Every structure is written in structure tokens, then in C-alpha cells.
Amino acid sequence: MTHYDLLSYICTVAQSGTDIFTAKQCLEEGQLVAIPTETVYGLAANAFDAASVAKIFEAKNRPEFDPLIVHTHSLEAVYDFVTDIHPQLLKLAESYWPGPLTLLLPRQDIIPDLTTSGLGRVGVRIPAHLLSLSLLRELDFPLAAPSANPFGYISPTTAAHVQKQLGDRISYILDGGPCEVGLESTIVGEEDNKIIIYRLGGLSVDAIESVVGNVSIQLNQSSNPKAPGQLKSHYAPRKPLFVGNAVELQKKHAGQKAAFLIFGAQAPELNGFLVKNLSPAQDYKEAAANLFAYLRELDESDADVILCDLLPGMSLGLAINDRLRRAAG
């Protein structure tokens, strides 16, 4: 590497560390900061400041019709920017915040239209990550923070993923280590006194129903989303990805160099040059934590295609399958 190349590299790498006061200063100056959560790393800006929020859309190349999630530090702080919380949603908040749960709530005017893509409700959550919670407590505003990746690409679960993808576009990466959950939050709202799941995620349907009873699942797949993460094509690698039964998919793609993403016991018929097993023990939490990192590894390999097994439709398997189908969308 020449001196010129080294200088260029240094200039395009974001500063990274665990200093919440550096992150705080950057955010107060209207800059972008990547923050760790238990789900994935978020690309954060002052949720009250439209100019700062606009930088998120620009850095990610994200369409402005796709709303953002707002992060704060306590249930009390949520009332600073929403008008009301439905009693059933309040039960969920009291049960699962901090955690991988986002609630769609009616917003106050202090939340700019850009943050919600003009919608009347704002997605809100309290992340279960001590470093980001400490940062949020130091700020006088909540943070709008979608995943810290180029729009539509695989979500980042380490600071290194963020650095590689967006290091030249942001001011600071708050490094909180690998994400524990590895799947985005579950998004829940209410319509006509019915509780609705709009995005499957790190909190299972069973966990939600244990608090509020039966729920409706509305996984929109269109260009007019009601909530973040509902676009048909999302979380996608750059290589072609196909989902189904890995053995059968291998037959359809004979002659191509295939990489496999599987779950559980490895089929002896698989002869791909690279196989990643989300969880040999069929542990859904382990599979969720590994999903995006393994997809990224396969995408960066020499494979022609990525072939993925679908998981059994239970527990977090529902959310993992949703991500895989959107990644193949």
C-alpha cells in the first residue's frame, strides 16, 4: 500500500470506540453515529431534527417512503413524543422493554414527517444494550436509527460490518461488540382494538401472545409500507439467493458454484464448496444471531449462488424465514 493509498484509507474510515461522549458530541452536532443494539447496529441521528434525519436517508441511499424507528431510554421518555399508548401495547412495553420490540404509536408533531415518512404513527423502542442506553440517557433527544447498512443489503451485527459498508459516510461507530439477538425488532401496533404484528423479529409471536392474547400478522410486502422492514426485497446479499430445500435447490442449480445456508443436521447430498450451518443443534436463538453474519460471509465468497434452507415455522424460525424470503425477493 502506497503512502497515498494509506492516506485515502485513513480518510474513509470512521472513528470507532466505546466513548459515549464522543458519540454524544457528534449527534448534537447533527452528525451520524452507528450504535450497537441487541438486534443489529443502527445508523443514528437526532430524531427531532429533520436535517439530521435526512443524512440517514442519504448515507443509506434509503427511499424516503420507508419510515425509521425511534430509540429512547425509558418508557417515561416515550411520552415526550407520542400522544398515547394503547393499554395492550403498554402491557407489551412493560413486559419487553428494553428489548427487541418496536411499538407503532401515534406521534406528536415534534417528530418530523421525514422520520415517519409522513405516517401518523412512529415506531418506538428501547434497546437492550447498556452502551446505547447510556448514550440515550445523556441526550436531550431520541435517536432515529434504521440498520447501519446500505439500503436493502444485509444488516450489520458487528462494528466491523458497519465500518466496511458505511465507514466513509459517518462520524463515529460506537463499538458494543457482536449483537446478541441478530434479528431486527418485532414491530407491533394496534388497529380497531386489535393487536397486529407488522414485522416478525427478535421477539417471538408466542412471547407477544402470552401477554396480549391472539394477534393478527400483517407482513406487508409492497412499496407502500406501514412500518419499517416491510419492503418485498430487503436484507439482501448481492449474489442471487434462493430459498427452499437445499438439496432440491442444488439439483436446480447444478453446474453453478453454490454456497449453502442450512439449519440442523447437514444433508450428505450437499456438495457445495462452502456450507454454513445456522445452528447444528437447531437452536433458534443461535440461528438468529448467526443469520446476517453468515449471509454476509457467503455473499463475500466466490460462490455463484447462495442456496438456503427454510427453518421450521415456529419460534424465531418465522422471523428468520421472513428475512430469507425478503433477501431472495
CATH of the domain at 74: 3.90.870.10
213 and 250 assigned to the same domain:
no
227: in domain: no
- pLDDT at residue 7, as a whole number: 30
State the cell numbers at 234: 430487503
Q: Is the full-model pTM beyond 0.75?
A: yes
201: in domain: yes
Single out the residue in 153, 184, 217 at which a domain terminates: 217
- The residue ranges of DSSP E strands in the chain, in sequence order, are 15-17, 33-35, 42-46, 69-71, 101-106, 121-125, 143-144, 172-174, 186-191, 194-199, 216-217, 241-244, 258-262, 274-277, 305-309
CATH number at residue 284: 3.40.50.11030
129 and 194 assigned to the same domain:
yes
Please tell me what DSSP assigns to residue 108.
P
44 and 126 assigned to the same domain:
yes
Burial of 302 from C-beta contacts in 10 A (0-12 / 13-18 / 19+): exposed
- pLDDT at residue 230, as a whole number: 52
197 and 52 assigned to the same domain:
yes
Per-residue tens of pLDDT for the chain, all 329 residues: 333 233 333 346 889 999 999 999 999 999 999 999 999 999 999 999 999 999 999 999 888 778 999 999 999 999 999 999 999 999 999 999 999 999 999 999 999 999 998 999 999 999 999 999 999 999 999 999 999 999 889 999 999 999 999 999 999 999 999 999 999 999 999 999 999 999 999 999 999 999 999 999 998 655 455 666 555 556 788 899 999 988 889 999 988 999 999 999 877 778 777 999 999 999 999 999 999 999 999 999 999 999 998 999 888 999 999 999 988 87
213: in domain: yes
- pLDDT at residue 221, as a whole number: 57
268 and 152 assigned to the same domain:
no
Expressed as residue numbers, the domain containing 139 is 3-217
292: in domain: yes
231: in domain: no
- pLDDT at residue 314, as a whole number: 86
Distance CA 293, CA 218 (A): 27
Strand 121-125, strand 101-106: pairing: antiparallel
- pLDDT at residue 315, as a whole number: 86
Helix (H, G, I), strand (E, B) or coil at 277: strand
169 and 277 assigned to the same domain:
no
144 and 270 assigned to the same domain:
no
CA distances from 100 to 105, 129, 165, 182, 202 (A): 16, 10, 24, 10, 5
- pLDDT at residue 87, as a whole number: 97
Q: What is the pLDDT of residues 182-226, one digit of tens each?
A: 999 999 999 999 999 999 999 999 999 999 999 999 986 554 556
Distance CA 203, CA 215 (A): 14
Please check whether residue 183 is in contact with residue 291, taking contact to mean a CB–CB distance below 8 angstroms. Answer: yes
Strand 15-17, strand 172-174: pairing: parallel
Distance CA 288, CA 188 (A): 19
46: in domain: yes
195 and 264 assigned to the same domain:
no
In total, how many domains does the chain have?
2
18 and 75 assigned to the same domain:
yes
